[in-house]
Amino acid sequence: MSQEQVFDLTTHTVRDLNQALHGLNGATSGPDFKVLNAQGDHALAVGIDAPVKVEIDGHVGYYCAGMNKHASVTIHGNAGTGLAENIMSGVVRLKGNASQAAAATGRGGLVIIEGDASARCGISMKGVDIVVQGSVGHMSAFMAQRGRLVVCGNAGAALGDSLYEAEIYVRGTVADLGADCEAKEMTPEHLAALDELLKRAEMPYPASEFRRYGSARKLYHFNIDNADAY
């Protein structure tokens, strides 16, 4: 493995960084990447398809680590809209707060937000695991299809609106549940799986402190009796 590659965004461009990362796509290994002086730059470290480690110092803009596959990306700052959008695999860890639509449409992998996440966290998620140490805003997990959203703080209004088969776990309070989202039993199997996920995310909370939410499965097909819920 070659030496760590350092990209200082006061002298390098975002394109320089992303081209270097894309040059490794399909590889089985690669160097570690260190990105310095990020100042709200958009589309940093997007489209990676290699098992590399990327560490970003500073705040990032829109769509950081979007479409990630295999890589481990750590951001020492806050993130704008669409963090890790459409993540396929790998790990994205944000040390600060995330704006809206974090991990939207994510199909796999793990996204860890050590601060708070704004509205629509995990919107239309399709298999990703999301762990938020703080709280999430309104409409989080809207139309979520598969995967797990774990909120160690509180959840805003309309949690899990129009939910499919994704699972939601909340440690704090829930402002209210969206259409077709309801409280579910926390079985021993769910406790064990959640405990394992919390350990992977390095969260210091026992699974027993969380409540589970899921789909009531009343909106899969149109029914005139449920028209008011659409």
Integer angstrom CA distances of residue 229 from 48, 157, 177, 217, 218:
40, 15, 12, 12, 9
What pLDDT, on the 0 to 100 scale, is given for residue 226? 62
What pLDDT, on the 0 to 100 scale, is given for residue 1? 45
Quote the pTM value.
0.94
On the question of pLDDT at 2 being above 80, the answer is: no
Separation between Cα atoms, residue 115 and residue 180, nearest integer Å:
28
Average pLDDT, integer, range 58-87: 98
What pLDDT, on the 0 to 100 scale, is given for residue 218? 85
Q: Are 37 and 57 in contact (CB under 8 A)?
A: yes
Residues 6+ apart with CB under 8 A from 199: none
**Phi, psi for 177 (deg, rounded to 5):** -95, 145
What pLDDT, on the 0 to 100 scale, is given for residue 205? 98
Separation between Cα atoms, residue 100 and residue 225, nearest integer Å:
33
Q: Are 38 and 60 in contact (CB under 8 A)?
A: yes
Per-residue model confidence as pLDDT tens digits over 13-33 = 999 999 999 999 999 999 999
Query: Taking the domains of the chain in order of start, what are their residue ranges?
Result: 5-229
On the question of pLDDT at 126 being above 90, the answer is: yes
Indicate the CATH number for domain 5-229. 2.160.20.60
Per-residue model confidence as pLDDT tens digits over 106-123 = 999 999 999 999 999 999
What pLDDT, on the 0 to 100 scale, is given for residue 157? 98
Per-residue model confidence as pLDDT tens digits over 180-224 = 999 999 999 999 999 999 999 999 999 999 999 999 988 766 666
